[in-house]
Structure 1
Amino acid sequence: MSLNAHLETLKKKHRDMGEAIESAQRAPGIDGLKVADLKKQKMRLKEEISRLSE
């Protein structure tokens, strides 16, 4: 897999994670720890994208 393709895959996962977080926050009775975990995963993806984009 080329670097550009890998970056695009990471960016798609990052967008999907954002949608999952928004959906989870709107859901009644969602566990706050679950949302926090999703946010941490999203941050890790963003860091990886930034690292590879340099």
Structure 2
Amino acid sequence: AIAAIVWLCYRSADRIGGLIGAPARRTIARLSAFLLLCIGAQIIITGVVDVAAKMH
């Protein structure tokens, strides 16, 4: 369900982008990039913790 919502958002991004203006688009892009960075960091942290737990 979440993948479908994300797909719909990306599919209609051009229409939404035309409605909101450049500063809002830039802000949304930065927030999206930050969210992706946080997800990646969480994946790395989880992997390191799991490996460290298996070593003990």
TM-score band w.r.t. shorter chain? 0.5 to 0.7
1:42 corresponds to 2:16: no
Q: Which has the larger radius of gyration?
A: 2
Identical aligned pairs, as a percentage?
A: 8
Q: What does 1:12-51 align with in structure 2 at a 5 Å threshold? A: 15=6, 19=9, 22=13, 23-27=15-19, 30-51=20-41
Distance in 2, matches of 1:45 and 1:37, equals: 12
Unaligned runs of 5+ in 2: 45-56
Relative to the length of structure 1, the TM-score reads: 0.52
- Which is bigger in relative contact order (C-alpha 8 A, separation at least 6)? 1
Deviation string for 1:8-53 (max 9, x for gaps)? Answer: xxx88xx4xx8278152143xx320000000000000000000000
